[in-house]
Every structure is written in structure tokens, then in C-alpha cells.
Amino acid sequence: MVKFNRVAIVGVGLIGGSLALSARQKGIFNHIVGIGRTPENLRKAKNLNVVDEFTLNLEEGVKDAELVVIATPVSDIIPIIKKSLPALKKGAIITDVGSVKNEIMIETDKLSLPGVFFVGSHPIAGTENSGVEAAFSDLFLKRKCILTPSKKTDPSALEKIKNLWISVGSEVFFMDSQPHDQILGAVSHLPHMIAFALVNYLHEINHEKESIFKFSGGGLKDFTRIAASHPIMWKDIALMNKGNLVNLMEGFQKTLEELKELINRGDGDELVRKFEESRRIRRGLIS
Amino acid sequence: MVKFNRVAIVGVGLIGGSLALSARQKGIFNHIVGIGRTPENLRKAKNLNVVDEFTLNLEEGVKDAELVVIATPVSDIIPIIKKSLPALKKGAIITDVGSVKNEIMIETDKLSLPGVFFVGSHPIAGTENSGVEAAFSDLFLKRKCILTPSKKTDPSALEKIKNLWISVGSEVFFMDSQPHDQILGAVSHLPHMIAFALVNYLHEINHEKESIFKFSGGGLKDFTRIAASHPIMWKDIALMNKGNLVNLMEGFQKTLEELKELINRGDGDELVRKFEESRRIRRGLIS
């Protein structure tokens, strides 16, 4: 079994905190150092026994770590890696949990990491809640985790990170970072943008004294759950996966425009065909 | 308490079947006749004790009914009312459960209903499943039901239908049919169109051997649940609420376009503001 004696977690929120809880429970992490920018959340993490100690000083926190997990918004990952490097001990492994991978892999491949290894991870897990209070040890159970090794990724470090995710209950897949960003752009980032836009739009047209949301059924609630996701995390994802996301949004806009045209010209037969296709696909969705 | 001795339910699916189950359980409906176009579903309804008897003959089925509930796709409601009228007994009340109300109220107001009363109902309840097998007696419990009386609606018939919905556990609201269609267009019909379009679009771009849906998290599953809704029912809703829906789709497209532009020009601050607004609104949503 994979084991890390001293682990530094940068960003002890929903994902970082849940990994700490789960990996400690399974005996994979022994001593956990939480690292962040402000003490409030880290103090909570300590009180909840998610971390053993914490520091606001990155270099200090990662110094003796065998494993550094970066669980911050994606735009912080590369700066944190660069800042950590001089402080890391030989043989240390860095991994992240970012939802966008291509830029991370390109940038880390450019760095010279003398005796230190980077492995890109993306656990497909999360809720619309954030912060360490939202963390729970079963978050990764039966979820998928995608690793995006490049040609430069060290096979032994990759194997260890793979085993870490398997140990917390995830099913691990390997994928190049470019198709990763396209696929996750489609099945995750695009739906989030649509949900944000829908809630913003409904709010915009809600001029009545009585909220129109009052008359929404369970459909809207489910549909917009992801619109409560973490704003800064999602700003980062949107901007870091901009190329794919803008293309996907344009493609979706075209499909929505076609649907609007079908409604506008009253083409009931074609509407039924579209809705039947949608029902069939949706019912076949893997959960 | 309101009571109907003999009730005809036209369209014994999720909504019609659930109303039958619930109202019988509460002692509101005594004898229930199911009416439909094909025997298969009605036979199931009889076997499940949702109806006491069934017929494919509308006039025959409604003949002695004190109450006729029309729970078909919305485009069938007016034709069914017209066809039923000559067969109905004096004092009979007709109600529907349609998600679009303005055209129904305009058309029923034009009919001369000698001694027969129409009340427009819209229970905001449902699941993505359909058919009588999906029916359950608690479907309306703690849900909202909107009644859309016009100036011609008989107050005593309205009171009885109001009490019917209260008796099955719903909270009843009164609203004019025009704002009803605008509001429900926004909080229900628009999200359905977006969900259908998203699933259609993801299917369209899924050219890989391995399905991209495999890597979707719980977010997409929740988000697209309503994309499995009944195709014919939704074709009818889309076409009958076309005026509002096309406007709403255009408004949403504009908001989505603005979001795309923010991403395209990398305006992180404004993205965070939009996502924060969305999170705040979504967290305040009444379930």
C-alpha cells in the first residue's frame, strides 16, 4: 500500500480537506500540514482534525513533505509549484486536483524539477458546497479520478498517485491533458456556465414583488444546483479552459438556436424527435 | 370536505394516476373511470387499482361524472373538452392539469358551457418519469398548485377544485393565466428547453468510441434530469407557450452570450461577480 509520512495540503477546502480525512482514515497519510493564505479556515481544519498543524508560510509548510497536494483554484497551481520547488526535499511528489489540466501539464513540463516529481490529478468529485466544513471522507468513494501524465511524468510517482486515489475509493483513468480539457469542458464546465447564466437571467427578469422562483418545481432546483458552486474556483476554470469553453458555448448556442427555430415555426414532429433523443441519451447516462 | 362520487380521469399517467391514488386514499373520489386512447396503460391502471374501470370512449366515460380531470398533453385539452360537453351531466366540473394556461382559459371562456363548469389547474409537481407506473399518492404533497380563474369561472366550482388540491396536500395559489404562462415559462419551460438542448448538443459532439458522458460528475446528472421528461408533453408545452418561450430563450441567449464574452476577454472580476450573484440567488431558491 502507498504511504506518505508527511503530507502538505495547500488549500484545505472541500477537496483538500476530504482527501486529508479519507487518506488519514485509511492510514495513507500520517502527519498532515495545512497551508493557506488566511488562518480562519485552517484553524477550523485543525479543530476538525482534518490537519495536524497549519501554516501560512508555503515554503515552511512543504519543507519536509513527501507529498504536496495543491487543492487551490487552478490559477494558483503553477505559482504555488514554482514557489515550493526550492523548499522541497529530494524525492517529494507534487500533485494537484485541478479541473483544467493542459496548461498545468505544459507549464510543469517546462520546469526543471531536480529530484522532485509532478503528477496531474483530477478527481471528478465535489458538491456545490465549499470550505473545510463541507469536507467528508467518502467524497471520492466510487468516483472517477483522471490522471493526465505527460511524457515527462515519472512512472514511479505516477504509480504512487494512482494508488493514492484508488486507496480513497476512486476509479483511476489516464488521459492526455488536451482531450481531458475538451471532455471535461463539455460535460462539466459548459453545464456550469449554462447554470450560472440561467440563474443570472431569471434573477434579471424577476421584477415582480413576489419572486418567480417561488413557483419553480424540483426541476429548476436540481437544474441550478451547480449554479451555487464556488465563484473563484469557477472563474479560474472558465479562464484556464477558455479555448475549449468558448467553442463549446458557441456550439451549444447553435443547438439552442435551432431548438428555438423549431418552436418558432411550430415543427412539432422534429421537436418530439429532439426530445426523444434527449430522453434516450439522458436515461443512458452513467451516474 | 369536498367529495366527488364519480370521477373521470382522461389520461391516466403520472399526474392523472397520482391524483386518482391520492384523492381515493383521502376519500375524495369514490368511483374512478379512466379514459385513454389505447388500452395498455389503462389496463395497468386498473390492475394497480388506480382506476375502477376504464374505457376508450370519451363520451361514455364522462357521461355520469361529477368531475372530469383532463391530464393529457396540453394540446389535447380543448378538443377533449369540446368532445365531452354534449355527454356531460348538469353541474359537472371539468378541470385540467396543464402547464400552459392562457390559451386554455381563452378557449374555454369562448365555449358556452350550459350548467357545466371549467376550472384551470396547474399542479407544480412531476418527475421525469411518466405513465401510470410512475404515479404515487404523495406526488402533490407540499407542492404548489396554481389555479387560473378567468372572469367567467364559477366561484363555487373554483372553491371545490381549490379544496380538491388542498385535500391532496398542495398549497393553492390564484393567478391570471397570462402571468402564469410567463412565470412558468421562465422557471420551468425555459430550463427544460436548455436541458434538452444541452443533452442533444453533448450527444452531437460525442464522436469518440468512449462516451464523454462517462466522465460527467453528479452535476451533469442533476442538471439534465429534466431532459428525460416526456417528449410529447413537452412538445405541446413548447408550442402552446411559444410566444413567451421564444422571448425567454432569446433573453437567456443574450445572457449566455454576455457570459461567453466575459470569458473570451478574460474579465475575471466580472465573472466572479456574476458567479457570486448566481450562488447567492440559487442558495435563496425556495425548494
ipTM: 0.92
**Residues B143, A251: C-beta atoms closer than 8 Å:** no
State the burial class of residue A259 (Cβ atoms within 10 Å of its Cβ: 0-12, 13-18, 19+): buried
> How far apart are the two ends of chain A, measured CA to CA in Å?
29
For residue A203, the distance in angstroms to the closest alpha carbon of chain B comes to: 7
Q: How many CB atoms lie within 10 A of CB A215?
A: 21
Nearest CA to CA, how far is B100 from chain A (Å)?
14
In chain B the domains, ranked by start, together with CATH numbers, are: 4-176 (3.40.50.720), 179-283 (1.10.3660.10)
Distance CA A227, CA A118 (A): 32
What cell does A74 get?
487552478
The partner residues of B31 in beta bridges, in order of sequence, read B6
Grid cell locating B198: 444541452
Give the pLDDT confidence of A80-99 residue by residue, as tens digits.
999 999 999 999 999 999 99
- Which residue of B99, B170, B256, B264 to mutate against A (max A Cβ within 10 Å)? B256
Residue B181 three-state SS: helix
Per-residue pLDDT of chain B (287 residues; tens, 9 = 90+): 799 999 999 999 999 999 999 999 999 999 999 999 999 999 999 999 999 999 999 999 999 999 999 999 999 999 999 999 999 999 999 999 999 999 999 999 999 888 999 999 999 998 878 899 999 999 999 999 999 999 999 999 999 999 999 999 999 999 999 999 999 999 999 999 999 999 999 999 987 656 888 888 777 888 888 998 999 999 999 999 999 999 999 999 999 999 999 999 999 999 999 999 999 998 887 44
Specify whether the CB–CB gap between B161 and B93 falls below 8 A: yes
Collect all residues of chain A within an 8 Å Cβ-Cβ radius of residue B183.
212, 215
A44's grid cell: 477550523
**Residue A184, min C-alpha distance to chain B (Å):** 7
Residues 6+ apart with CB under 8 A from B188: A216, A217, A219, A220, B99, B124
Whether B23 contacts B163, CB under 8 Å: no
**HSE-up of residue B138 (Cα within 13 Å, Cβ side):** 1
Assign residue B91 a region (left: φ > 0; alpha: ψ between -120 and 50; beta: otherwise).
left
Does A256 sit within 8 Å of B197, measured CB to CB?
yes
Alpha-carbon distance B79 to B11, whole Å?
13
B119 DSSP β-pair partners: B95
Q: Which three cell numbers stand for residue B174?
A: 390564484
Q: Which residues contact B136 (CB under 8 A, 6 or more apart)?
A: B18, B21
Residue window 46-85, chain A: list those with CB within 8 Å of chain B: none
A interface test, pick of B100, B176, B209, B223 with most A CB neighbours within 10 Å: B223
Residues B62 and B68: their CA atoms lie apart, in Å, by 7
The H-or-E segment that residue A10 falls in is strand A4-10
- Identify from B189, B254, B275 which residue to disrupt to test chain A contact, counting A C-beta atoms within 10 A and taking the largest count: B275
Q: Which of residues 136-175 of B touch A (CB under 8 A)?
A: 143-144, 146, 173
A225 at B interface, C-beta within 8 A: yes
Instruction: Indicate the residue of A198, A225, A271 with minimum beta-carbon distance to B252.
Output: A198
Contacts of B272 in chain A (CB under 8 A): 231-232, 235
Q: What is the pLDDT of residue A209?
A: 59
Q: Count Cβ–Cβ pairs < 8 Å, chain A vs chain B.
A: 296
Answer positive or negative: Cα dihedral of B273, B276, B278, B281: negative
What does the alpha-carbon distance between residue B173 and residue A219 come to, in Å, rounded to a whole number?
Answer: 19
Cβ-Cβ contacts under 8 Å, B193 against chain A? 256, 259-260, 263
CB count within 10 Å of CB A111 equals 14
Distance from CA of A230 to the nearest CA of B (A): 8
Dihedral sign of CA atoms B268, B273, B277, B279 in order:
positive
Which ranges of chain A have pLDDT less than 70?
Answer: 208-210, 286-287
Single-letter code of the amino acid located at B65: A
What are the chain A neighbours of B188 within 8 Å (beta carbons)?
A: 216-217, 219-220
Determine whether the interchain pair B271/A246 forms a contact, defined as Cβ–Cβ distance below 8 Å.
no
Q: What is the pLDDT of residue B286?
A: 47
pLDDT for residue B287 = 41
Question: By the CB < 8 Å criterion, does A37 face chain B?
Answer: no
Tell me the β-bridge partners of B174: B147
Nearest CA in chain B to A143: B217
- Nearest-angstrom CA–CA distance, B119 and B128: 26
**Other Cβ atoms closer than 10 A to A86:** 8
Helices of type H across chain A: 14-25, 39-47, 58-62, 77-84, 102-110, 155-167, 177-184, 190-205, 218-224, 231-240, 242-264, 268-283
Q: Which residues of B90-125 are buried (b: 16+ CB within 10 A; e: fewer)?
A: eebbbbbbbbbbbbbbeebeeeebeebbbbbbbbbb
C-alpha cell at B136: 404515487
- Closest in B220, B231, B268 to A272, CB measured: B231
Return the residue of B nearest to A243 by Cα: B264
Search chain A and give the residue with CA nearest B226: A219
Whether the CB of B106 is below 8 Å from some CB of chain A: the reply is no
Q: Give A134's DSSP letter.
A: G
Any chain A CB within 8 A of the CB of B134? no
A91 Ramachandran zone, left/alpha/beta (phi>0; psi -120 to 50)? left
